[in-house]
Amino acid sequence: MTATLEPMAASEVYLLGLEPRRRARWGRFVAGALDLWCATTGGRFELSGAGVVVVRRRLDGVAELRVPVAGPDDASVLMGLLRDQLDTMAPDEFRAAWAIA
């Protein structure tokens, strides 16, 4: 029996997460005000719900991939896709698929 040190799945090398989009204080205020206005008039704007899907290396926490998303629905779809790829692809395949150097 031979043991290998190579990770079998990209999920052994990377962590997946959702982080808020970085904004200046006034940007957060404006986004929240616009969301509130849209909610009271029956619309759906969701500027404050925007974020970034991030794939980080487990070893040192460095972000390897950052993909901005417009809202919770987009984040859910993208995170589902990335989670499936991390579970089924080898690390080299995952890096090639997302053009990670």
* pLDDT > 70: percent of the chain: 65
| pTM for this entry | 0.70
- pLDDT tens figures, 41-59: 766 555 556 689 999 999 9
Q: Identify residue 11 by its one-letter amino acid code.
A: S
Residue 11, pLDDT above cutoff 90: yes
The CA-CA-CA angle for residues 12, 17, 70, to 5°, reads: 140
**pLDDT score, position 3:** 58
Q: How far apart are CA 7 and CA 13, in angstroms?
A: 7
* Planar angle of CA 72, 83, 98, nearest 5 degrees: 95
Nearest one of 76, 25, 26 to 53, comparing CA atoms: 76
Proportion of the chain in helix, strand, coil states, percent, rounded to 5: 45, 20, 35
Position 82 scores a pLDDT of 96
